[in-house]
Structure 1
Amino acid sequence: MPAFAGVRGPEQSAPEPSLHERLREEITAWDAVFRSVFRMPPYNPDDLLTRRGLDLYDRMMTDAQVRASINTKRYALLARQWQVFPAVRRRQEQDFRAAMEARDFVEAVLRGLRGPEGSPQDFRRVLFQMMSAFYRGFSVAELVWRVETAGPWAGKYVLAAIKFKNPKQIGFEVDEFLNVRAVTSWTPEHGLITVPRGKCLIYVYNARDELPYGESDLRAVYKHWYSKSRIMEFWNLRLQRFGIPFAYANAPNPSDASGARIL
Protein backbone atom coordinates (compact mmCIF):
# COMPACT_ATOMS: atom_id res chain seq x y z
CA MET A 1 0.00 0.00 0.00
CA PRO A 2 1.60 3.29 -0.99
CA ALA A 3 2.35 5.87 1.68
CA PHE A 4 -0.15 8.60 2.33
CA ALA A 5 -2.83 6.63 0.46
CA GLY A 6 -5.46 7.87 2.90
CA VAL A 7 -4.55 11.54 2.59
CA ARG A 8 -6.55 13.55 0.05
CA GLY A 9 -4.68 15.94 -2.13
CA PRO A 10 -5.84 19.45 -2.90
CA GLU A 11 -9.25 19.46 -4.59
CA GLN A 12 -9.44 20.84 -8.06
CA SER A 13 -11.70 23.89 -8.15
CA ALA A 14 -14.56 23.95 -10.62
CA PRO A 15 -13.84 25.95 -13.75
CA GLU A 16 -15.08 29.48 -13.76
CA PRO A 17 -18.34 29.85 -15.74
CA SER A 18 -18.11 31.85 -18.91
CA LEU A 19 -19.81 35.20 -19.37
CA HIS A 20 -22.42 33.53 -21.57
CA GLU A 21 -23.21 31.00 -18.83
CA ARG A 22 -23.40 33.69 -16.16
CA LEU A 23 -25.85 35.73 -18.23
CA ARG A 24 -28.12 32.69 -18.55
CA GLU A 25 -28.20 31.92 -14.84
CA GLU A 26 -31.51 32.32 -12.97
CA ILE A 27 -32.40 32.68 -9.32
CA THR A 28 -34.65 29.97 -7.95
CA ALA A 29 -38.17 31.26 -7.34
CA TRP A 30 -39.51 31.51 -3.77
CA ASP A 31 -42.75 29.69 -4.63
CA ALA A 32 -40.88 26.86 -6.39
CA VAL A 33 -40.91 24.94 -3.10
CA PHE A 34 -44.66 24.41 -3.66
CA ARG A 35 -44.34 23.18 -7.25
CA SER A 36 -45.31 19.65 -6.30
CA VAL A 37 -48.67 21.09 -5.16
CA PHE A 38 -49.12 23.15 -8.33
CA ARG A 39 -49.57 20.01 -10.40
CA MET A 40 -52.53 18.79 -8.32
CA PRO A 41 -55.82 20.49 -9.33
CA PRO A 42 -57.81 22.28 -8.03
CA TYR A 43 -55.01 24.10 -6.17
CA ASN A 44 -54.82 27.88 -6.45
CA PRO A 45 -52.52 30.14 -4.38
CA ASP A 46 -55.20 32.82 -4.10
CA ASP A 47 -56.00 32.88 -0.37
CA LEU A 48 -59.48 34.27 -1.04
CA LEU A 49 -60.38 31.31 -3.25
CA THR A 50 -58.95 28.98 -0.61
CA ARG A 51 -61.30 30.42 2.01
CA ARG A 52 -64.40 31.12 -0.10
CA GLY A 53 -64.28 28.40 -2.76
CA LEU A 54 -62.95 28.19 -6.31
CA ASP A 55 -66.30 29.26 -7.77
CA LEU A 56 -66.23 32.63 -5.98
CA TYR A 57 -65.22 34.76 -8.97
CA ASP A 58 -67.75 32.99 -11.19
CA ARG A 59 -70.45 33.80 -8.61
CA MET A 60 -69.31 37.42 -8.56
CA MET A 61 -69.74 37.53 -12.35
CA THR A 62 -73.49 37.02 -11.85
CA ASP A 63 -73.61 40.54 -10.39
CA ALA A 64 -74.78 42.94 -13.11
CA GLN A 65 -72.25 45.67 -12.27
CA VAL A 66 -69.31 43.28 -12.02
CA ARG A 67 -70.24 41.54 -15.27
CA ALA A 68 -70.67 44.84 -17.12
CA SER A 69 -67.29 46.10 -15.94
CA ILE A 70 -65.40 42.96 -17.00
CA ASN A 71 -67.21 42.61 -20.33
CA THR A 72 -66.62 46.28 -21.17
CA LYS A 73 -62.91 45.52 -21.21
CA ARG A 74 -63.43 42.39 -23.29
CA TYR A 75 -65.67 44.00 -25.90
CA ALA A 76 -63.42 47.07 -26.11
CA LEU A 77 -60.53 44.83 -27.17
CA LEU A 78 -62.74 42.96 -29.63
CA ALA A 79 -64.21 46.10 -31.19
CA ARG A 80 -61.54 46.16 -33.89
CA GLN A 81 -61.17 43.37 -36.43
CA TRP A 82 -58.25 41.03 -35.78
CA GLN A 83 -55.49 40.67 -38.33
CA VAL A 84 -52.35 38.56 -38.82
CA PHE A 85 -49.17 40.42 -39.82
CA PRO A 86 -46.17 38.88 -41.58
CA ALA A 87 -42.84 38.72 -39.76
CA VAL A 88 -41.18 40.49 -42.71
CA ARG A 89 -42.89 43.68 -43.92
CA ARG A 90 -40.55 44.99 -46.62
CA ARG A 91 -40.99 43.58 -50.12
CA GLN A 92 -37.31 43.99 -50.97
CA GLU A 93 -36.23 41.64 -48.19
CA GLN A 94 -35.35 38.07 -49.15
CA ASP A 95 -37.84 36.31 -46.86
CA PHE A 96 -40.82 38.53 -47.69
CA ARG A 97 -42.55 35.95 -49.92
CA ALA A 98 -42.16 33.16 -47.34
CA ALA A 99 -43.41 35.45 -44.57
CA MET A 100 -46.50 36.35 -46.58
CA GLU A 101 -47.22 32.69 -47.26
CA ALA A 102 -46.92 31.92 -43.54
CA ARG A 103 -49.22 34.84 -42.78
CA ASP A 104 -51.84 33.61 -45.25
CA PHE A 105 -51.63 30.09 -43.81
CA VAL A 106 -52.07 31.21 -40.19
CA GLU A 107 -54.98 33.49 -41.07
CA ALA A 108 -56.70 30.73 -43.08
CA VAL A 109 -56.30 28.32 -40.15
CA LEU A 110 -57.76 30.78 -37.63
CA ARG A 111 -60.69 31.57 -39.91
CA GLY A 112 -61.33 27.86 -40.40
CA LEU A 113 -61.83 27.01 -36.73
CA ARG A 114 -64.90 24.97 -35.86
CA GLY A 115 -67.16 25.15 -32.84
CA PRO A 116 -68.50 22.25 -30.73
CA GLU A 117 -71.40 21.75 -33.14
CA GLY A 118 -69.10 21.74 -36.19
CA SER A 119 -70.13 25.15 -37.49
CA PRO A 120 -67.56 27.88 -38.25
CA GLN A 121 -66.26 29.61 -35.14
CA ASP A 122 -65.35 33.29 -35.13
CA PHE A 123 -61.83 33.71 -33.76
CA ARG A 124 -63.14 36.61 -31.66
CA ARG A 125 -65.15 34.07 -29.69
CA VAL A 126 -61.88 32.33 -28.85
CA LEU A 127 -60.38 35.63 -27.73
CA PHE A 128 -63.48 36.39 -25.64
CA GLN A 129 -63.12 33.10 -23.79
CA MET A 130 -59.40 33.64 -23.38
CA MET A 131 -60.13 36.93 -21.62
CA SER A 132 -62.01 35.07 -18.89
CA ALA A 133 -58.58 35.37 -17.29
CA PHE A 134 -59.60 38.93 -16.42
CA TYR A 135 -61.72 37.53 -13.59
CA ARG A 136 -60.20 34.05 -13.17
CA GLY A 137 -56.53 35.00 -13.27
CA PHE A 138 -55.61 32.62 -16.08
CA SER A 139 -57.17 30.64 -18.89
CA VAL A 140 -56.05 27.40 -20.52
CA ALA A 141 -57.25 25.99 -23.83
CA GLU A 142 -56.44 22.72 -25.56
CA LEU A 143 -55.23 22.93 -29.16
CA VAL A 144 -56.93 20.23 -31.25
CA TRP A 145 -55.16 19.46 -34.54
CA ARG A 146 -56.13 17.81 -37.81
CA VAL A 147 -54.57 17.26 -41.24
CA GLU A 148 -56.00 19.38 -44.05
CA THR A 149 -57.21 17.16 -46.87
CA ALA A 150 -58.06 19.68 -49.59
CA GLY A 151 -57.23 23.15 -50.83
CA PRO A 152 -53.90 24.96 -51.04
CA TRP A 153 -52.87 23.75 -47.57
CA ALA A 154 -53.60 20.05 -48.13
CA GLY A 155 -51.31 17.77 -46.15
CA LYS A 156 -50.50 20.37 -43.49
CA TYR A 157 -51.45 20.21 -39.83
CA VAL A 158 -54.06 22.85 -39.00
CA LEU A 159 -56.06 23.74 -35.91
CA ALA A 160 -59.40 21.96 -35.78
CA ALA A 161 -60.54 23.72 -32.60
CA ILE A 162 -59.37 25.65 -29.55
CA LYS A 163 -61.22 24.34 -26.51
CA PHE A 164 -61.04 26.12 -23.17
CA LYS A 165 -61.06 24.18 -19.91
CA ASN A 166 -62.41 25.00 -16.47
CA PRO A 167 -59.54 26.33 -14.29
CA LYS A 168 -60.67 23.97 -11.51
CA GLN A 169 -59.33 21.00 -13.47
CA ILE A 170 -56.00 22.59 -14.38
CA GLY A 171 -52.63 22.29 -12.68
CA PHE A 172 -49.10 23.14 -13.76
CA GLU A 173 -45.83 21.24 -13.78
CA VAL A 174 -43.14 23.87 -13.27
CA ASP A 175 -39.40 23.86 -12.68
CA GLU A 176 -37.54 25.66 -9.91
CA PHE A 177 -37.79 28.89 -11.91
CA LEU A 178 -41.60 28.53 -12.33
CA ASN A 179 -41.32 27.89 -16.06
CA VAL A 180 -44.33 25.80 -17.14
CA ARG A 181 -43.12 22.45 -18.47
CA ALA A 182 -46.50 20.72 -18.79
CA VAL A 183 -50.15 21.11 -17.87
CA THR A 184 -52.06 18.64 -15.71
CA SER A 185 -55.79 18.04 -15.90
CA TRP A 186 -57.95 16.24 -13.36
CA THR A 187 -61.53 15.16 -14.05
CA PRO A 188 -63.75 12.78 -12.06
CA GLU A 189 -64.08 10.49 -15.08
CA HIS A 190 -60.45 10.16 -16.20
CA GLY A 191 -58.45 11.22 -13.13
CA LEU A 192 -55.14 13.06 -13.45
CA ILE A 193 -53.42 13.27 -16.84
CA THR A 194 -50.44 15.26 -18.11
CA VAL A 195 -50.79 17.36 -21.25
CA PRO A 196 -47.70 18.54 -23.18
CA ARG A 197 -47.03 22.27 -22.90
CA GLY A 198 -47.12 22.70 -26.67
CA LYS A 199 -50.68 21.36 -26.86
CA CYS A 200 -52.03 24.10 -24.59
CA LEU A 201 -52.74 27.78 -25.03
CA ILE A 202 -52.07 29.51 -21.70
CA TYR A 203 -52.97 33.13 -20.95
CA VAL A 204 -51.88 34.50 -17.58
CA TYR A 205 -53.39 37.82 -16.50
CA ASN A 206 -51.70 40.09 -13.95
CA ALA A 207 -48.85 37.63 -13.47
CA ARG A 208 -47.31 37.94 -10.01
CA ASP A 209 -43.83 36.62 -9.23
CA GLU A 210 -43.98 34.49 -12.41
CA LEU A 211 -46.77 32.32 -10.97
CA PRO A 212 -48.86 30.81 -13.80
CA TYR A 213 -52.11 31.45 -11.89
CA GLY A 214 -52.18 35.22 -12.42
CA GLU A 215 -54.43 37.47 -10.35
CA SER A 216 -58.11 38.25 -10.92
CA ASP A 217 -59.37 41.81 -11.20
CA LEU A 218 -62.13 40.75 -8.81
CA ARG A 219 -59.66 40.07 -5.99
CA ALA A 220 -59.64 43.79 -5.15
CA VAL A 221 -63.41 44.08 -5.63
CA TYR A 222 -64.45 41.29 -3.27
CA LYS A 223 -64.95 43.40 -0.12
CA HIS A 224 -67.21 45.81 -2.00
CA TRP A 225 -69.18 42.99 -3.64
CA TYR A 226 -69.56 41.24 -0.26
CA SER A 227 -70.85 44.39 1.45
CA LYS A 228 -73.25 45.05 -1.41
CA SER A 229 -74.58 41.48 -1.23
CA ARG A 230 -75.24 41.71 2.51
CA ILE A 231 -76.82 45.17 2.21
CA MET A 232 -79.09 43.92 -0.57
CA GLU A 233 -80.31 41.08 1.65
CA PHE A 234 -81.29 43.45 4.46
CA TRP A 235 -82.74 45.91 1.97
CA ASN A 236 -84.98 43.23 0.51
CA LEU A 237 -86.15 42.27 3.98
CA ARG A 238 -86.98 45.91 4.66
CA LEU A 239 -88.84 46.22 1.34
CA GLN A 240 -91.05 43.31 2.34
CA ARG A 241 -92.40 45.40 5.18
CA PHE A 242 -93.55 48.06 2.74
CA GLY A 243 -95.58 45.51 0.79
CA ILE A 244 -97.46 44.25 3.86
CA PRO A 245 -99.78 46.45 5.98
CA PHE A 246 -98.52 47.12 9.46
CA ALA A 247 -100.06 44.91 12.15
CA TYR A 248 -101.95 46.79 14.86
CA ALA A 249 -104.25 45.92 17.76
CA ASN A 250 -106.79 47.74 19.92
CA ALA A 251 -106.43 47.38 23.64
CA PRO A 252 -109.41 48.03 25.93
CA ASN A 253 -109.38 50.99 28.28
CA PRO A 254 -108.06 49.84 31.69
CA SER A 255 -110.76 51.95 33.36
CA ASP A 256 -113.48 49.75 31.83
CA ALA A 257 -114.62 46.64 33.66
CA SER A 258 -113.59 44.41 30.76
CA GLY A 259 -110.16 46.03 30.66
CA ALA A 260 -109.70 45.57 34.37
CA ARG A 261 -110.50 41.88 34.08
CA ILE A 262 -107.89 41.46 31.30
CA LEU A 263 -105.26 43.26 33.32
Structure 2
Amino acid sequence: MIPAPFEYHAPTTLEEALQLLAESDDAKVLAGGQSLLPVLKLRLAAPEVVVDLAKISQLQGIREEGDHIVVGAMTPHYVVADDPTVNQHALLLAEATRTVADPQVRHRGTLGGALVHADPAGDLLAPALSLEAELVIAGQGGATRTVPAADFFEDLFTTAVGEDEILTEVRIPKHTGWGAHYEKFTRVAQQWSIVAVAATVRSEGGTVAEARVSLTNMGSTPVRCTAVEEALVGMSADSDRLREVCAAAGEGTTPPDDTNGDAAYRRHLAGVLTGRAVRAALA
Protein backbone atom coordinates (compact mmCIF):
# COMPACT_ATOMS: atom_id res chain seq x y z
CA MET A 1 0.00 0.00 0.00
CA ILE A 2 2.91 2.33 -0.71
CA PRO A 3 2.84 4.45 -3.90
CA ALA A 4 5.64 4.30 -6.44
CA PRO A 5 8.04 7.27 -6.16
CA PHE A 6 6.92 10.55 -7.77
CA GLU A 7 7.74 14.24 -7.78
CA TYR A 8 5.30 16.25 -5.67
CA HIS A 9 4.45 19.88 -6.45
CA ALA A 10 2.05 22.20 -4.62
CA PRO A 11 1.78 25.36 -6.76
CA THR A 12 0.06 28.47 -5.43
CA THR A 13 -1.24 29.79 -8.76
CA LEU A 14 -3.22 28.26 -11.61
CA GLU A 15 -0.60 29.38 -14.11
CA GLU A 16 2.13 27.54 -12.22
CA ALA A 17 0.03 24.37 -12.06
CA LEU A 18 -0.67 24.46 -15.79
CA GLN A 19 3.02 24.96 -16.52
CA LEU A 20 3.92 21.92 -14.43
CA LEU A 21 1.43 19.82 -16.37
CA ALA A 22 2.79 21.09 -19.67
CA GLU A 23 6.35 20.18 -18.69
CA SER A 24 5.54 16.56 -17.82
CA ASP A 25 4.49 13.69 -20.05
CA ASP A 26 3.18 11.73 -17.08
CA ALA A 27 1.49 13.93 -14.46
CA LYS A 28 -1.60 13.53 -12.29
CA VAL A 29 -3.60 16.31 -10.66
CA LEU A 30 -4.40 15.96 -6.96
CA ALA A 31 -7.72 17.69 -6.25
CA GLY A 32 -8.52 16.37 -2.79
CA GLY A 33 -7.11 12.91 -3.31
CA GLN A 34 -10.05 10.77 -2.20
CA SER A 35 -9.96 8.87 -5.50
CA LEU A 36 -6.35 9.35 -6.59
CA LEU A 37 -4.57 8.36 -3.37
CA PRO A 38 -6.08 4.84 -3.17
CA VAL A 39 -5.17 4.31 -6.83
CA LEU A 40 -1.59 5.39 -6.16
CA LYS A 41 -1.31 3.19 -3.06
CA LEU A 42 -2.53 0.16 -5.02
CA ARG A 43 -0.10 1.12 -7.82
CA LEU A 44 -2.89 1.09 -10.37
CA ALA A 45 -1.27 4.36 -11.46
CA ALA A 46 2.35 5.40 -11.10
CA PRO A 47 2.76 8.95 -12.43
CA GLU A 48 6.13 10.65 -12.50
CA VAL A 49 4.64 13.92 -11.20
CA VAL A 50 1.73 14.78 -8.89
CA VAL A 51 0.45 18.37 -8.95
CA ASP A 52 -1.55 19.25 -5.82
CA LEU A 53 -4.07 22.08 -6.33
CA ALA A 54 -4.88 22.56 -2.62
CA LYS A 55 -2.89 25.80 -2.25
CA ILE A 56 -4.46 27.61 -5.22
CA SER A 57 -6.94 29.90 -3.47
CA GLN A 58 -8.55 31.13 -6.71
CA LEU A 59 -9.97 27.63 -7.25
CA GLN A 60 -11.96 27.71 -4.01
CA GLY A 61 -15.13 29.46 -2.89
CA ILE A 62 -18.74 30.03 -3.88
CA ARG A 63 -20.23 33.22 -5.29
CA GLU A 64 -23.26 34.54 -7.13
CA GLU A 65 -22.82 35.88 -10.64
CA GLY A 66 -26.07 37.17 -12.13
CA ASP A 67 -28.40 34.26 -12.78
CA HIS A 68 -25.70 31.69 -11.91
CA ILE A 69 -23.87 30.51 -8.85
CA VAL A 70 -20.19 29.72 -9.34
CA VAL A 71 -18.43 27.02 -7.31
CA GLY A 72 -14.64 26.80 -7.42
CA ALA A 73 -13.44 23.37 -8.46
CA MET A 74 -11.35 22.95 -5.28
CA THR A 75 -14.23 23.75 -2.92
CA PRO A 76 -14.58 20.86 -0.44
CA HIS A 77 -17.79 18.86 -0.31
CA TYR A 78 -18.66 19.93 3.23
CA VAL A 79 -18.53 23.61 2.21
CA VAL A 80 -20.81 22.98 -0.78
CA ALA A 81 -23.31 21.02 1.34
CA ASP A 82 -23.58 23.71 4.03
CA ASP A 83 -23.36 26.85 1.89
CA PRO A 84 -26.53 29.04 2.07
CA THR A 85 -26.16 30.17 -1.55
CA VAL A 86 -26.03 26.59 -2.83
CA ASN A 87 -28.97 25.55 -0.66
CA GLN A 88 -31.04 28.48 -1.91
CA HIS A 89 -30.22 28.38 -5.61
CA ALA A 90 -29.02 24.80 -6.32
CA LEU A 91 -30.61 22.68 -3.61
CA LEU A 92 -30.12 19.45 -5.57
CA LEU A 93 -26.33 19.83 -5.44
CA ALA A 94 -26.42 20.35 -1.67
CA GLU A 95 -28.75 17.37 -1.17
CA ALA A 96 -26.51 15.06 -3.20
CA THR A 97 -23.28 16.31 -1.64
CA ARG A 98 -24.57 15.47 1.82
CA THR A 99 -24.75 11.79 0.77
CA VAL A 100 -21.12 11.54 -0.37
CA ALA A 101 -19.25 8.88 1.62
CA ASP A 102 -18.53 10.04 5.21
CA PRO A 103 -17.55 13.28 6.99
CA GLN A 104 -13.83 12.63 6.57
CA VAL A 105 -14.15 12.24 2.82
CA ARG A 106 -16.46 15.26 2.58
CA HIS A 107 -13.83 17.39 4.34
CA ARG A 108 -11.02 16.35 1.98
CA GLY A 109 -12.78 15.64 -1.30
CA THR A 110 -13.70 18.45 -3.70
CA LEU A 111 -16.47 19.10 -6.20
CA GLY A 112 -14.09 19.45 -9.12
CA GLY A 113 -12.12 16.37 -8.16
CA ALA A 114 -15.29 14.26 -8.11
CA LEU A 115 -16.52 15.60 -11.45
CA VAL A 116 -13.22 15.12 -13.29
CA HIS A 117 -12.77 11.63 -11.81
CA ALA A 118 -16.08 10.85 -13.57
CA ASP A 119 -16.91 7.61 -11.79
CA PRO A 120 -20.42 6.75 -13.07
CA ALA A 121 -21.31 5.62 -9.53
CA GLY A 122 -20.21 8.97 -8.09
CA ASP A 123 -22.94 11.06 -6.54
CA LEU A 124 -22.27 14.49 -8.07
CA LEU A 125 -22.30 13.78 -11.81
CA ALA A 126 -26.07 13.32 -12.15
CA PRO A 127 -26.90 16.48 -10.13
CA ALA A 128 -24.54 18.50 -12.36
CA LEU A 129 -26.38 17.11 -15.38
CA SER A 130 -29.86 17.80 -13.95
CA LEU A 131 -28.88 21.37 -13.00
CA GLU A 132 -27.46 21.93 -16.50
CA ALA A 133 -24.14 23.02 -15.03
CA GLU A 134 -21.39 24.51 -17.16
CA LEU A 135 -17.79 23.54 -16.43
CA VAL A 136 -14.96 26.00 -17.04
CA ILE A 137 -11.65 24.48 -18.14
CA ALA A 138 -8.33 26.35 -18.22
CA GLY A 139 -5.44 25.58 -20.55
CA GLN A 140 -2.11 26.99 -21.56
CA GLY A 141 -1.64 30.68 -22.28
CA GLY A 142 -4.67 31.80 -20.32
CA ALA A 143 -7.09 29.99 -22.63
CA THR A 144 -10.42 28.92 -21.14
CA ARG A 145 -13.43 27.09 -22.48
CA THR A 146 -16.83 26.31 -21.04
CA VAL A 147 -18.37 22.87 -21.54
CA PRO A 148 -21.99 21.96 -20.69
CA ALA A 149 -22.37 19.02 -18.32
CA ALA A 150 -24.13 17.12 -21.11
CA ASP A 151 -20.87 17.17 -23.11
CA PHE A 152 -18.40 17.10 -20.22
CA PHE A 153 -18.79 13.42 -19.26
CA GLU A 154 -17.52 11.51 -22.29
CA ASP A 155 -17.11 7.94 -21.06
CA LEU A 156 -16.15 5.83 -18.07
CA PHE A 157 -13.66 7.92 -16.02
CA THR A 158 -13.25 10.20 -19.05
CA THR A 159 -14.15 13.89 -19.35
CA ALA A 160 -13.55 16.81 -21.68
CA VAL A 161 -10.57 17.95 -19.55
CA GLY A 162 -7.32 17.41 -21.45
CA GLU A 163 -4.08 16.12 -19.90
CA ASP A 164 -2.62 19.65 -19.75
CA GLU A 165 -5.85 21.33 -18.62
CA ILE A 166 -7.49 22.00 -15.25
CA LEU A 167 -11.16 22.35 -14.29
CA THR A 168 -11.39 25.72 -12.52
CA GLU A 169 -15.06 26.28 -11.68
CA VAL A 170 -18.60 24.99 -12.03
CA ARG A 171 -21.29 27.45 -13.12
CA ILE A 172 -24.85 26.48 -12.20
CA PRO A 173 -27.98 28.30 -13.39
CA LYS A 174 -30.03 29.38 -10.39
CA HIS A 175 -32.89 27.01 -9.59
CA THR A 176 -34.33 29.25 -6.91
CA GLY A 177 -37.52 27.85 -5.41
CA TRP A 178 -37.15 24.46 -7.06
CA GLY A 179 -37.76 21.39 -4.92
CA ALA A 180 -35.01 18.79 -5.04
CA HIS A 181 -34.14 15.31 -3.85
CA TYR A 182 -31.30 12.84 -4.37
CA GLU A 183 -32.55 9.29 -3.87
CA LYS A 184 -29.64 6.91 -3.39
CA PHE A 185 -29.80 3.12 -3.10
CA THR A 186 -26.93 1.20 -1.48
CA ARG A 187 -26.53 -2.12 0.31
CA VAL A 188 -24.53 -0.61 3.17
CA ALA A 189 -24.02 2.93 4.45
CA GLN A 190 -21.43 5.14 2.74
CA GLN A 191 -21.16 2.79 -0.24
CA TRP A 192 -21.08 3.87 -3.87
CA SER A 193 -24.58 4.09 -5.35
CA ILE A 194 -25.96 0.94 -6.90
CA VAL A 195 -28.48 3.32 -8.50
CA ALA A 196 -29.40 6.88 -7.58
CA VAL A 197 -31.71 9.56 -8.95
CA ALA A 198 -31.11 13.32 -9.00
CA ALA A 199 -34.45 15.11 -9.35
CA THR A 200 -35.28 18.80 -9.16
CA VAL A 201 -38.77 20.14 -9.82
CA ARG A 202 -40.40 23.55 -10.18
CA SER A 203 -44.04 23.37 -9.19
CA GLU A 204 -46.97 25.72 -9.69
CA GLY A 205 -50.19 25.18 -7.77
CA GLY A 206 -49.10 21.73 -6.66
CA THR A 207 -48.32 20.45 -10.15
CA VAL A 208 -45.06 20.06 -12.05
CA ALA A 209 -44.18 23.04 -14.24
CA GLU A 210 -40.62 21.87 -15.02
CA ALA A 211 -38.62 18.81 -14.07
CA ARG A 212 -35.00 17.68 -14.35
CA VAL A 213 -34.19 14.02 -13.71
CA SER A 214 -30.83 12.24 -14.11
CA LEU A 215 -29.59 8.79 -13.13
CA THR A 216 -26.41 7.65 -11.38
CA ASN A 217 -24.65 4.37 -12.29
CA MET A 218 -26.98 3.50 -15.17
CA GLY A 219 -24.32 3.68 -17.87
CA SER A 220 -20.75 4.78 -18.45
CA THR A 221 -21.85 8.39 -17.89
CA PRO A 222 -24.78 9.98 -16.01
CA VAL A 223 -28.09 9.66 -17.86
CA ARG A 224 -30.61 12.46 -18.36
CA CYS A 225 -34.25 11.28 -18.52
CA THR A 226 -35.72 13.85 -20.88
CA ALA A 227 -38.77 11.76 -21.81
CA VAL A 228 -39.69 11.39 -18.14
CA GLU A 229 -39.14 15.12 -17.56
CA GLU A 230 -41.53 16.05 -20.35
CA ALA A 231 -44.18 13.54 -19.26
CA LEU A 232 -44.13 14.83 -15.67
CA VAL A 233 -45.23 18.36 -16.62
CA GLY A 234 -48.73 19.02 -15.33
CA MET A 235 -48.75 16.14 -12.86
CA SER A 236 -49.27 16.37 -9.12
CA ALA A 237 -47.56 14.25 -6.46
CA ASP A 238 -50.68 12.11 -6.04
CA SER A 239 -51.32 11.62 -9.76
CA ASP A 240 -52.16 8.05 -10.71
CA ARG A 241 -49.87 8.32 -13.74
CA LEU A 242 -46.79 9.57 -11.89
CA ARG A 243 -45.65 6.08 -10.92
CA GLU A 244 -46.16 4.82 -14.47
CA VAL A 245 -44.16 7.69 -15.97
CA CYS A 246 -41.30 7.36 -13.48
CA ALA A 247 -41.15 3.58 -13.94
CA ALA A 248 -39.90 4.20 -17.48
CA ALA A 249 -36.81 6.09 -16.30
CA GLY A 250 -34.47 3.14 -16.87
CA GLU A 251 -35.66 2.37 -20.40
CA GLY A 252 -32.91 2.58 -23.00
CA THR A 253 -30.10 2.67 -20.43
CA THR A 254 -27.09 0.35 -20.32
CA PRO A 255 -26.37 -0.25 -16.61
CA PRO A 256 -23.56 -2.57 -15.53
CA ASP A 257 -23.93 -6.17 -14.41
CA ASP A 258 -22.01 -6.87 -11.21
CA THR A 259 -22.31 -8.46 -7.77
CA ASN A 260 -24.69 -5.69 -6.66
CA GLY A 261 -27.25 -6.50 -9.35
CA ASP A 262 -27.77 -7.13 -13.03
CA ALA A 263 -28.96 -4.64 -15.63
CA ALA A 264 -32.64 -5.61 -15.37
CA TYR A 265 -32.58 -5.15 -11.58
CA ARG A 266 -30.99 -1.72 -11.94
CA ARG A 267 -33.57 -0.61 -14.52
CA HIS A 268 -36.34 -1.63 -12.12
CA LEU A 269 -34.61 0.23 -9.29
CA ALA A 270 -34.25 3.34 -11.46
CA GLY A 271 -38.00 3.46 -11.99
CA VAL A 272 -38.86 2.97 -8.33
CA LEU A 273 -36.28 5.50 -7.11
CA THR A 274 -37.32 8.09 -9.69
CA GLY A 275 -40.87 7.99 -8.34
CA ARG A 276 -39.60 8.48 -4.80
CA ALA A 277 -37.25 11.30 -5.81
CA VAL A 278 -39.87 13.22 -7.77
CA ARG A 279 -42.46 12.95 -5.00
CA ALA A 280 -39.91 14.11 -2.42
CA ALA A 281 -38.90 17.02 -4.64
CA LEU A 282 -42.52 18.05 -5.04
CA ALA A 283 -43.01 17.92 -1.28
- Flag the structure with higher helix content: 1
| TM-score normalised by L of structure 2 | 0.24
Task: Name which structure has the greater RCO, CA cutoff 8 Å, separation 6+.
Answer: 1
| TM-score normalised by L of structure 1 | 0.25
If you compute each CA radius of gyration, which structure gives the higher value, 1 or 2? 1
